[in-house]
Structure 1
Amino acid sequence: MENKHTQLNFKDGPEKGLKRDLETNQLSMIAMGCAIGTGLFLGSGLAIQAAGPSVLLSYALGAFIVLLLMGCLAEMTVAHPTSGSFGAIAEKYMTPMAGYLVRYSYWIGNVLAVGVEVSAVSVYMKYWFPTVPGIVWILLFAGVLIYVNATSVNTFATFEYWFSFIKISAIVGFILLGAYVLFGSSEQPHIGPENFVNEGGFFPFGLKGMWIAVFISLFSFLGTEMIAVTSGEAKDPDAAVPKALKATVFRLSTFYVLTIGIMLMIVPWKTAGIEESPFVKVMEILNIPGASGIMNFIILTAALSAMNAQLYASTRMMFSLARGKHAPSFLGNLNKRGVPAKALAVSTTGILIAAGVHALLPGSSYAFMMGISMFGAMFTWLIIFISHLFFRVKWEKTGGRKLPVRMIGFPYLTILGAVLLFSLMITTWFTDFKIMLQFGIPWLLFLSVAYFVSKRRNSNHNVVEETLEEKIE
C-alpha cells in the first residue's frame, strides 16, 4: 500500500546517483531551447502555406493542447521527479509495457533527431566555409556537444541556457523590428492587418487547412516535455517544475503567435516560406546588411541547441530503461561526475545512423528519419494524457500527498487533450505527413514483440536463478 509520501524515490530508487543541480531558470531555458528551433525560423512558412492567415488560430489551438499537456505533466512530475519521467510514470500507473513503449519511442525519436540536427549543421556551415567537407563539421560539433553532455549536468545546462538566450533574443529582436516596420514607418505600402484578409480571406483553405496547420504547429512546441526529463536533476522539483512549465508555455505561445502575426502583416502569406525565411524578409525591408549571415548564425544556434537538448533527453531515457531492467544494465552506470556516460555513448548512434541512411537513401533520408522522430514525440504526448487519467485516480485512492499543482478540469480536460492529439495524429494519414504513421505503426509492433521476447527471457532467467539457489541450499 502506498502512503501520502509515495513517489518514485530519487535518492534511494532506481535512479540513485544523478546530481540535483538544475535551477528553475535553467529548466525553463532547456525547454525553451528544445522547443524553439528551425520549426519557427524556417518551418513556420510551411504552416502559413497550409492555412493562410488562419494559421494564427492553428498555433493558438496548438498552444491550448500543449497547455493541457503541461498541466497533466506538471502534476505527475511533481509527484515523481525522475529522469525516467513519463516513461516511469506510464510503467507505474498503466502497465510495464506502456512504460517500455513510450521510453523507447521517445529515445529513438531523440536519437534520430540528433542525427538530423548534426547533418543540418554541416549544411549551415557551408555558408561561411563552402570548400570544407561537411563531415568535418559533423565530427567537430558532435564531439563538442558529446563532451558537454559527458562533463556534468550543470555544464550541459549552462551551454543550453546561452544557446536558448541567443534564440530568444533573436525572436524578441524580430518582434521589435517588426513592430517598427508596422507602426514606426509610414513608407511601407501593402503592410498591415489588411494582409490577414487579402489573397482569399482569413480562411483561404477552409477549416481543413487550419486543422492541418495545427499539427504542423505542434512540431514547434515539441521539446517542452524536456522539463519532466530534467526534473530528476532539479534542485527543488515541487517549486521548480510547475513554475518552469507555466513560464515555458506562456512564453512559447506569446512568441509564436506574435511572431507569426507580425510575419503575416509584413509578408503576404502566399510568399511566406517560398523564397526565403520571413525573418530575412523583415531584415531586408529594414535594409539590414548581412541579413542572410545573421539568419544563418541564428539557425545554426537553433540546431546546436536542439541537438544538445535531444542528446541529453535520449541519454536520460536510456539510463532510465537500463535502471528499469529494460536495457543492458551497464547502460545504467554513472561516471564520477554523476553522468550516465555509457548511455550517452549509445545515444550518439543517431549521428552514425544519419550518415548511413543519407548514404543509402540520399533522396529520402530526411523524411525517413523525421518520420520516426516525429512519431516518437507525438506518441509520448498521447501516453502522457492517458497516464494522467490513471495517475490521478490511483494517487487519490492510495492517499498520495497533497500536491502543490493539480490539473484543473479533471478528467474532462485531460480527455479533451488526448482526443485532440489522437485526432491530429490520425489526420496525418490523409496529408503529406502520413510518413509519421507509416513508420510509427511498424515501430510500435516491433517494440511490442521485443517487449514480450524480453519479458519471457527475463522470466526464464529468473526461474533458472531460483532453481540454482534451491540446489545450493
Structure 2
Amino acid sequence: MSKAVTESDEQSGLRRDLSGRQVGMIAVGGAIGTGLFLGSGLAISIAGPAVIIAYAVAAFAALALAYALAEMIVVHPEAGGFGPIAQRYLGGLAGFVQRWMYFAAQVVNIGSEVVAAGLYVQFWYPQMPLWLPVVVFSAVMLAVNASAVRYFGEFEYWFAMIKVVTIVVFILLGLTYIVFGLPGHAPVGVSALTEHDGFLPNGIGAVWLALTVVTFSYLGTEAVALTASESRDPGRDVPRAARGTVLRLALFYVVGMLVVVSILPWNQVSTEDDVTQSPFVRLFATAGIPAAAGIMNFVVLTAALSAMNTNLYVTARMTYSLARDGYAPKWFTGLSANGAPRRALLLSAVGLALAAAISVFSPETAFPMMLGLALFGALIVWLLILATQLAFRRRRAAEGLPPSPVRLPGTPVTTVLVMVFVAAVLLTTPFTEQFNTAWKAGVPFLLVLVGAYYVVRKRAAARG
C-alpha cells in the first residue's frame, strides 16, 4: 500500500475485503444499467448518427472526473469516498449537501431499476403481478448487501461480467456485419451514417441536447470512490478501476453506438423500453442466434439487478459516512459481525420501497420529478467533486505537502473546463423532454438540504 494511503487511512470499522478485480467490476456495474441496451435509443432519436460525438465528448468529461477522484482517494481512502473529502476541503455544508444529494439520486435509481427488473420478468410471465418480482428482487439484493463485503463483491463481479461479455459480443458481431457480413447477409458498410438526412440530421444543437441523456449514461462512474474504505489496496485498486471503468464505458458506448447507427437507420431505432425492440435483439436475431429476445431479456434483467446491487452498496456507505460525521443519527454507524453497515442499509431499503412504489403507482406524475431530482443531484455531486479537487490541489501546494501519486493532467484548466461542461449540461435539462423536471425538483431539494444542514449544526452546537 502506498505511503500516502498509510498516513491518512482512518480506521472506519469497515473491512478491507474487496479485491482489485471486484472493485473494477463494482464500478462498471454501477455505471452500466439498462441505459446502454435500451435507453441509448433515446439519445439516437435526438441526435441521429452524430450521437457518437456526444458519447465521445461525455467520455472525456467522465475520464477527467475519474482522474480527479483517484487523485484525492489515493490520499484519503475514507468511508464515504468523496463526501468526507468535500467536507475536509470545502467545509461542512458541501460535505452534507453532496452526500445527501447523492443518496437521494441513487435511491431513485435503485427504485427505477428494481421496477424495470420486475417488468423484464413479466416478459416471460405476463400474468404475474408487478409487485411480486419487485419484492423478491428487493429482498434478495438487500440480503446480498447485508452479507460480508467479499461476498457482495463476488456476486457483483459475475453479474457485471454478464453485461460486459454481452456488450463485447455485440460489438464484435456488429463490426463483423459492417465489414465482412454475416451468414446470408452482405456487409452493410457505414453508408447508414449519412444516408438518412446526413450525419447531423437534426443539426449540431440536437447533439448538445442529446448530451443531457448521454451524460446520464456515464453517471455512476463516481461509485468507485465508495469502495476505497473496503479495498485491500485502495492506492492501487481505486485509481486503476476509475480509469478502467471510464475507458470501458467510452469503448462500449462510442463503438456500440457506431455499430447501432451503421446497421440500423437512426430514425428506425426504437426509443421505447421494450426488450423486443432493442438494437441488440435485432442484431443477434440477424446473426442467427436463437431466442435472441429471450436471451437479451435475461441480460437486461441482470443489468438492472447489477446496477441496483451496486447502488444499494454506495447508498449504505454514504449513510454510514454521514452518521460518522454527525449528519445522520449515530445509530446508522452500527456494523454487523461481518463488517457490513446493515443499519445504514435499512435507510436505503426505505428509500427503495418509496421509489419503487412511486414508480409503480405514479409513473406519469411523481416519478418524472424523482428522475429529474436524480439527474440534478448527480450533476451537482460531479460539480462538487471537481471543486473539491481544485481545493485539494491548492491546499496541498500551500502546505508544502507532496503531490498525490495520481494527478489529473492539466489542472486547474482541465478541471474548470469540465466544470463548465457539467454546468452547461445541467442548464440544458429544462430544454429536454425527459429531464425538464430536473430544476423543478432539484432546486427545492437543494434548498431543503441547506436549511437542514444549519438546523443539524445548530443542534450539535447546543449539545456541545
Structure-2 separation of matches of 1:291 and 1:339: 39
Structure-1 separation of matches of 2:348 and 2:271: 35
- The amino acid across from 1:255 in the alignment is F
Structure-2 separation of matches of 1:7 and 1:329: 27
Q: 1:363, CA displacement in angstroms?
A: 2.4
Q: 1:412, CA displacement in angstroms?
A: 0.3
The one of 436, 439, 442 aligned to 1:440:
442
Structure-1 separation of matches of 2:168 and 2:177: 14
Deviates more, 1:179-188 or 1:267-276: 179-188
- The amino acid across from 1:408 in the alignment is P
Distance change >3 Å, CA 399–CA 84, structure 1 → 2: farther
Determine the structure 1 residue equivalent to 2:122.
126
Query: Where do 1:212-361 residues align within 5 Å?
Result: 212-274=209-271, 276-358=277-359, 361=362
User: C-alpha deviations, 1:124-179, integer Å up to 9, x for none?
Assistant: 11111222222221121111111111111111111110011000000011012112
What RMSD, in angstroms, separates the aligned Cα atoms of the two structures?
1.8
Structure-2 separation of matches of 1:197 and 1:83: 49
The one of 194, 197, 207 aligned to 1:197:
194
2:151 counterpart of 1:165: no
Structure-2 separation of matches of 1:378 and 1:408: 22
- The amino acid across from 2:442 in the alignment is G
Structure-2 separation of matches of 1:184 and 1:229: 43
Determine the structure 2 residue equivalent to 1:50.
46
2:454 counterpart of 1:452: yes
- The amino acid across from 1:452 in the alignment is Y
Structure-1 separation of matches of 2:176 and 2:366: 41
Structure-2 separation of matches of 1:305 and 1:251: 17
The structure with the largest alpha-carbon Rg is 1
Structure-1 separation of matches of 2:154 and 2:417: 37
What secondary structure, in the 3-state scheme, does the structure 2 residue paired with 1:132 have?
A: coil
- The amino acid across from 1:370 in the alignment is L
Structure-2 separation of matches of 1:325 and 1:146: 25
What secondary structure, in the 3-state scheme, does the structure 1 residue paired with 2:74 have?
A: helix
Q: 1:273, CA displacement in angstroms?
A: 1.9
2:184 counterpart of 1:183: no
What secondary structure, in the 3-state scheme, does the structure 2 residue paired with 1:22 have?
A: coil
Q: 1:6, CA displacement in angstroms?
A: 8.9
Structure-1 separation of matches of 2:66 and 2:357: 36
Distance change >3 Å, CA 8–CA 92, structure 1 → 2: farther
Number of aligned residue pairs: give it. 456
User: C-alpha deviations, 1:277-320, integer Å up to 9, x for none?
Assistant: 11111122223221111111111000000000000000000000
TM-score normalised by the chain length of structure 2: 0.95
Structure-2 separation of matches of 1:240 and 1:6: 12
Structure-2 separation of matches of 1:336 and 1:63: 40
Q: 1:104, CA displacement in angstroms?
A: 0.2
The one of 34, 37, 43 aligned to 1:38:
34
What secondary structure, in the 3-state scheme, does the structure 2 residue paired with 1:193 have?
A: coil
Distance change >3 Å, CA 425–CA 362, structure 1 → 2: closer
What secondary structure, in the 3-state scheme, does the structure 1 residue paired with 2:124 have?
A: coil
Determine the structure 2 residue equivalent to 1:374.
375
Query: Where do 1:390-401 residues align within 5 Å?
Result: 390-401=391-402
- The amino acid across from 1:100 in the alignment is F
Q: 1:189, CA displacement in angstroms?
A: 6.4
Distance change >3 Å, CA 52–CA 230, structure 1 → 2: same
The one of 14, 17, 20 aligned to 1:21:
17
Determine the structure 2 residue equivalent to 1:421.
422
TM-score normalised by the chain length of structure 1: 0.93
Q: Is the 8 A contact 1:111 1:349 kept in 2?
A: no
Q: Is the 8 A contact 1:31 1:223 kept in 2?
A: yes
Distance change >3 Å, CA 121–CA 17, structure 1 → 2: same
Structure-1 separation of matches of 2:261 and 2:241: 30
What secondary structure, in the 3-state scheme, does the structure 1 residue paired with 2:288 have?
A: coil
Structure-1 separation of matches of 2:174 and 2:361: 43
Q: Is the 8 A contact 1:119 1:354 kept in 2?
A: no
Distance change >3 Å, CA 172–CA 5, structure 1 → 2: closer
User: C-alpha deviations, 1:416-469, integer Å up to 9, x for none?
Assistant: 01001001100112221221111111110010111111111211221xxxxxxx
Q: Is the 8 A contact 2:67 2:408 kept in 1?
A: yes
Q: 1:123, CA displacement in angstroms?
A: 0.8
Q: Is the 8 A contact 1:8 1:81 kept in 2?
A: no
Q: Is the 8 A contact 1:113 1:369 kept in 2?
A: no
What secondary structure, in the 3-state scheme, does the structure 1 residue paired with 2:221 have?
A: coil
Q: Is the 8 A contact 1:7 1:80 kept in 2?
A: no
